[in-house]
Chain A
Amino acid sequence: MITESLVLSAILFVIGTFGVLVRRNAIIMFLCIELQLNAVNLSLVAFSRMWGIEGQLFVFFVMTVAAAEAAVGLAIIISIFRHYETVNVDSFNLLKW
């Protein structure tokens, strides 16, 4: 059970990474990051079956932080959208040499 969970977690994580790399929409990139976080949550829960309740507690905190981060991140994206009229990350290139 644990092994299968870990495999699932790895697959989800990798898919999430792929999404971050391949999507242009900033919000969807963010969503894929949330997917990665979820994958990690799964592996943490799987490990809690091995080592104790602390794993689940950690997941609890991860979820909390993910919520906070999602709120702030989306606020930033909104504020950027106000300036650029788009959320296509390719247009955010002010730091280009």
Chain B
Amino acid sequence: MYAFLTALAQGGGDAAASEAGHFEPFLPGLVVLLPLLGFVINGILALKHGRDSAAAVRAGGELTFGDRKPATHTLPTWVGPGVMGLAFLITLVNFTRMLGAHLEEPVVVHYWTWIATGTFTVDAALQLDQLSMIMMMVVTGVGFLIHVFSVGYMKEDPGYPRYFAYLNLFVFFMLVLVMGSSYALMFVGWEGVGLCSYLLIGYWFSDREKSDAGKKAFIVNRIGDAGFLIAMFMVFANFGSLDYVPVFHDAEGLAYAGGLVTAITLFFFVGAIGKSAQIPLFVWLPDAMAGPTPVSALIHAATMVTAGVYLVARSSVLFALAPLTSAVVAGIGALTALFAATIALKQNDIKKVLAYSTVSQLGYMFLGVGVGAYAAGVFHLMTHAFFKALLFMGSGAVIHAMHEAYHSTHSHEDAQDMRNMGGLRAHMPITWATMWIATLAIAGIWPFAGFFSKDEIIWQTAAFGGAAGAPYTALYTVYWVMALAAAMLTAFYMTRMMVLTFHGANRTGAEESRHLHEAPVVMWLPLAVLAVLSVFGGWINVPEALRASLLGGAGALPMTEWLHHWLEPLTAQAHHIQEEHLGELAHAAPFGGGEVMWAVISTVAAAIVVAVAIRFVGGRKVVAVAEDTTELTGLSKVLYNKYYIDEFYDRVVVRPIVQGSRFCWKVIDSLIIDGVVNAVGWIAKAFGWGISMFQTGSVNTYAFILTVGVLVILGASLF
């Protein structure tokens, strides 16, 4: 531990800028440690808080402390967001340094050797390169904003310090995931975020449904983790190490489209499917909405679910060598994008709409990295973090207001059902404005962030599929069409959500609506920051062809495709392999037309869909839940019930497993194994009883045996 701390202190360089080509990391270990420290402090406060609360309740008091909050409640307010803010600042310093340094190779900061057994070595080391830096910025930056938002959202919650403890712990693990220098460390972070996801989804654990949702998330994740583990074993078996630098260096030697690399990448992708909620393991994400809304914003929008995308982007070399897996990745991504979008069309719970939207957008990210556009996938990851976190937090502000409204009249109506909302624009203008910005961004309207990232992916799908040596060209055409269709659906259901929530007549009830008000500053300020990012965030990776469209045309924009160039040192290897085997990428989409043309088509179409949706949804009569008697039929019913996939899984997977377990328990364990053990005991007893027959108690018998013994001994010694 002492060695670790001195190494940490030495890891920080001086504050002077680094020379080009040489990157001096600034206290990278501190970035990881600060959230952990936050967890420890908040954890201790939570333990004390729990004890005090229990004592207060036993004394006949309330669980919440009213206006006079104890120290265990006020300290986490500063510790929780505070460590995040500090971590973000340190990350910013590192980012600035890296900007000036033009890094070619990743910088690995070694702290200590964690596992050293024979041939298998894992170091506790952090890898700082362009990809991890981007992820760090997103995690700490968006994380900080969400922490600030949580201060307002969770103010009245009895478990306030516990919440921040878990949230800090989550950020710690996420940072380990993105900054780890080996697959082993990534897996540590991987499992850790899974754990924190469980803790936070089931945060209100006294409600059975909510804790079940936490369990579901963890179990479904674990299914994917099995794939991740197998892939790690294969990597170690073939490369002798789990560290990125040596593995990717040796990966060049693998056969293109060979069985080995295809197997490794497929298993990694199985892990990604579980963590990033793709088909078929996405079922945990909608249920995860049982957790507090900021948790949904942080974990299930901005960071944890993107771990799968990060994994694929990090292993770009391996995926580039396996075209089959890449096709599978892209296919599942495209299918998920479309599938989830259709379900979102018919959901009434505002958070469920956003959950399925997240699943759908994650599909886009996988589509991007599946067609070799790693930078585009990461770009969409980043912009998605901005607008999805904004959307979730905005919905959190709405739910917060609705809760207060219903609390004032002691009504038991569902505060999250959009049929109970409506006309909230008048009551919550800031939320309304910021959420509309996010909606336009996600719909892919120019010039907002989502347009550039989503468009890039769609275009790259087309370019990849039409490349000279591309495999399965027809398949990629299908993906491209699916992506376009999903984009249109996205625009529609997001607009539907906005119209139902903020426009039209208010359905909350006359008395309740008097209590609806805007969120406090601590809650709408992060919304505003993210709204700004959603507007301008996409400008960091504008394709060359579209440069003229921004800032007065004629190249006033200082940089194009900045993110692409930024990640170039890491994706160069993969691109090289891609060029070698695929030839040049196409310049026209399957149905003709270049990049600019399709960009214009998609944005115009999206805008039309938004307008149509406003008219369509706005024109329909919506009734509050209490008075809603309509029965869903046909396609609507199927979509509303999410294609009955949970029921399907229950019938096909869960029940057989439970029955199998029951069999193992009742028959194999109780009957056979316990039976064998009991039988051994019984045999011993029976044997003893049999031998006890010798003890007849009769002198005569003893004498006889004695004599026989004499005979035997005599015989033995005389023969």
Contact = CB atoms under 8 A, between A and B. Distances in A.
Query: Are A and B close enough to touch in the complex, i.e. CB under 8 Å?
Result: yes
Interface of A: 17, 20-21, 24, 26, 29, 89-90, 92-97
Contacts of B698: 89-90, 92-93, 96
Given A26-B699, A93-B698, A97-B692, 20 more contacts: A20-B703, A20-B707, A21-B700, A21-B704, A21-B707, A24-B700, A29-B703, A89-B698, A89-B699, A89-B700, A90-B698, A92-B698, A93-B696, A93-B697, A94-B697, A95-B695, A96-B696, A96-B698, A97-B696, A97-B697
A92 B699 contact: yes
A26 to B, nearest CB: 8
A92 B703 CA distance: 14
Contacts of A97: 692-693, 695-697
A74 to B, nearest CB: 16
A96 B696 CA distance: 5
Interface in B659-713: 692-693, 695-700, 703-704, 707
B707 A17 contact: yes
Nearest to B692: A97
Nearest to B704: A21
16 contacts: A17-B707, A20-B703, A21-B704, A21-B707, A24-B700, A29-B703, A89-B698, A90-B698, A90-B700, A92-B698, A92-B699, A93-B697, A93-B698, A96-B696, A97-B692, A97-B693
Contacts of B693: 97
A26 B695 CA distance: 20
A21 B703 CA distance: 6
A90 to B, nearest CB: 6
B675 to A, nearest CB: 28
A97 B695 CA distance: 6
Nearest to B694: A97
Nearest to A90: B698
A86 B698 CA distance: 15
A17 B699 CA distance: 14
Contacts of A29: 703
Contacts of A21: 700, 703-704, 707
Given A17-B707, A21-B704, A96 B699 contact: no
Contacts of B696: 93, 96-97
B699 to A, nearest CB: 4
6 smallest A-B Cβ distances: which pairs? Answer: A96-B697, A95-B697, A93-B697, A89-B699, A97-B692, A97-B695
Contacts of A20: 703, 707
A26 B692 CA distance: 25
B40 to A, nearest CB: 67
A64 B263 CA distance: 95
Contacts of A24: 700
A93 B698 CA distance: 5
A94 B695 CA distance: 10
A89 B704 CA distance: 13
Nearest to A18: B707
Contacts of B699: 26, 89, 92
B475 to A, nearest CB: 83
The residue in B696, B700, B703 that gathers the most chain A C-beta atoms within 10 A of its C-beta is B700
The residue in B692, B696, B698, B707 that gathers the most chain A C-beta atoms within 10 A of its C-beta is B698
Contacts of B707: 17, 20-21
A4 to B, nearest CB: 21
Contacts of A92: 697-699
A81 to B, nearest CB: 15
Contacts of A94: 697
A92 B699 CA distance: 7
A78 B699 CA distance: 17
Contact of B695 (A17, A89, A90, A96): A96
A24 B699 CA distance: 10
Nearest to A20: B703
Nearest to B700: A89
A75 B704 CA distance: 24
Nearest to B710: A17
A17 B700 CA distance: 12
A73 to B, nearest CB: 13
Contacts of A89: 698-700
Interface in B334-381: none
Nearest to B702: A95
Contacts of B692: 97
Interface string B84-114: 0000000000000000000000000000000
A40 to B, nearest CB: 13
A29 B699 CA distance: 11
Contacts of B704: 21
A24 B703 CA distance: 12
Contacts of A90: 698, 700
A89 B703 CA distance: 11
Contacts of B703: 20-21, 29
Nearest to A17: B707
A66 to B, nearest CB: 18
A90 B698 CA distance: 6
A90 B692 CA distance: 19
A18 to B, nearest CB: 9
B204 to A, nearest CB: 66
Contacts of B695: 95-97
A65 B703 CA distance: 21
A43 to B, nearest CB: 15
A26 B708 CA distance: 20
A32 to B, nearest CB: 10
A17 B698 CA distance: 17
A3 B642 CA distance: 110
A6 B498 CA distance: 123
A19 to B, nearest CB: 10
B690 to A, nearest CB: 11
B80 to A, nearest CB: 75
A9 B698 CA distance: 29
Nearest to A96: B697
Contacts of B700: 21, 24, 89-90
A80 to B, nearest CB: 11
A63 B84 CA distance: 104
A76 B697 CA distance: 18
B449 to A, nearest CB: 91
Nearest to B711: A17
Interface string B446-484: 000000000000000000000000000000000000000
A93 to B, nearest CB: 4
Contacts of A17: 707
A94 B698 CA distance: 9
A20 B699 CA distance: 10
A6 B203 CA distance: 99
A44 to B, nearest CB: 18
Contacts of A93: 696-698
A83 B112 CA distance: 85
B359 to A, nearest CB: 75
A95 B697 CA distance: 4
Nearest to B707: A17
A95 B707 CA distance: 20
A20 B703 CA distance: 7
Nearest to A33: B703
